[in-house]
Structure 1
């Protein structure tokens, strides 16, 4: 494996798969971000794509943060509803398996 391939393999995070067929995908409602004093990012997708996601915890709740990167460096951030951490984890798993969008 060359240096570039090794670098990419070590520093890239997961990429979302294509939406899965069969069944109705979960539809995530995206809202304006809420302020929180401390947000802990627990998992994330690779930011090499125009859209990336983070599983976050704040104030005992969980949510998914979506970031859309524009052509000129601007970013638009939105968040899912804040729910129990367990429910946010289930939503995250649905998202990274292609069953939610």
Structure 2
């Protein structure tokens, strides 16, 4: 069995699957300062060029998307209730939405 330090070095994090045919287009919007505090609940691996974050703030959730190469937040999804946001998050991870 591998030791924990070795396992930690090898594990990067979640990767979003490649886009599937017939995927759903997300209505991405420019990020705006709707709130001052946002909790990141989950995220994809930073070894990819595009990183996604599942975020929560003010009782709602949304997905942020940014490009790792310049580190600037680019877009966010609509703010949704938790069940709808977690479905969107799952679809992004499975390649069914972008």
Q: TM-score range by the shorter chain?
A: 0.7 to 0.9
Superposed CA RMSD in Å reads 2.1
Distance 1:91 1:3 in 2: 32
**Maintained 8 Å contact 1:32/1:79:** yes
Whether 1:79 aligns to 2:81 is: no
Give the ranges of 4+ consecutive aligned residues of structure 1 lying more than 3 Å apart after TM superposition.
1-5
- C-alpha distance in 1, partners of 2:43/2:26? 16
TM-score in terms of structure 1 length: 0.81
Structure 2: give runs of 5+ residues left out of the alignment: none
Q: So what's the TM-score if we normalise by structure 2? A: 0.83
CA distance in 2, matches of 1:26, 1:64: 15
Matching residue of 1:61: 60
| Structure 1 residues not aligned, in runs of 5+ | none
